[in-house]
Amino acid sequence: MPKPLKAEDIDSKTDPSVSAQWDDKTPKKQQIEEFYKTVDGMKIGLLTTIRSGIGPVARSMAVAKRSGPDFLFLANKHSNKFSDISNKSVAQVTFQNSSTQDWVSVTGTVVTTANDDPRIKDLYSRTISAWFGDLGDGVHDGGPDDPRMAIIEVKANYISYWKSTVGALGFFKEVAQATLTGQIADNGVQRQFGQEDIEAMRKTSE
């Protein structure tokens, strides 16, 4: 049910629309498990890099692998995102499920590799060649040994995510009731992981 809003709660620390947004009751282990379940259900995300003189630039990317809290992508090293990363090695990966309203935001440091990274062969699938093409020279063929093929790894330093606790109908019911009553919609939980949490996640990565 929507949460009541009291006049005495309106300040920067106790305003329910702000103070109640973070879930600090659910055990951290459960939060982490549910984060993995949520993000693993969303294979395509937006990778946002910082472009000099422009600012944030995003593009859709398929996750090649999640390693604990970190995310790996296969990409063409001639693309603009590599020059973005060479200038500023930070990026954000975001995901959203429009059916459930679940979303995930991962901010981290970006590491890129050359084609000699042995992980490429493990991450590669034949369909990836469709994004590279075969130049017919026996080298640039869109395969795992194509010198254009490289890894972008986003090593998380901050993660936040929203997990819906109601179904689609429940979501709209909560919003409608909150709009009519002046209360605050209670349709999910928002969680965050800082550096200490993330380091622990790496030690027990799934």
What sign for the dihedral angle of Cα 46, 52, 53, 55? positive
108 φ/ψ angles, rounded to the nearest 5 degrees: -165, 180
Residues 194 and 158: their CA atoms lie apart, in Å, by 5
Q: Encoding tokens for residue 113? A: 């590799």
pLDDT band at 75 (very low <50, low <70, confident <90, very high): very high
Provide the whole-model pTM. 0.84
pLDDT (tens digit, 9 = 90+) per residue, 145-168?
Answer: 999 999 999 999 999 999 987 655
Closest C-alpha among 57, 36, 88 to residue 193 = 36
pLDDT band at 206 (very low <50, low <70, confident <90, very high): low
pLDDT (tens digit, 9 = 90+) per residue, 118-130?
Answer: 999 999 999 999 9
Arithmetic mean of pLDDT, 4-18:
58
pLDDT (tens digit, 9 = 90+) per residue, 163-184?
Answer: 987 655 555 555 556 556 555 5
Arithmetic mean of pLDDT, 83-104:
95
Arithmetic mean of pLDDT, 92-104:
94
Give yes or no for residue 185 having a pLDDT over 80.
no
All domains of the chain, ordered by start, with CATH? 7-203 (2.30.110.10)
Arithmetic mean of pLDDT, 61-89:
96
Residues 36 and 68: their CA atoms lie apart, in Å, by 8
How high does pLDDT run on average in the chain? 87
pLDDT band at 188 (very low <50, low <70, confident <90, very high): confident
All residues at 6 or more sequence positions from 190 whose CB lies less than 8 Å from its CB, including other chains? 21, 22, 23, 160, 161, 162, 163
pLDDT (tens digit, 9 = 90+) per residue, 23-46?
Answer: 888 999 999 999 999 999 999 999
Q: Write down the pLDDT at residue 92.
A: 98
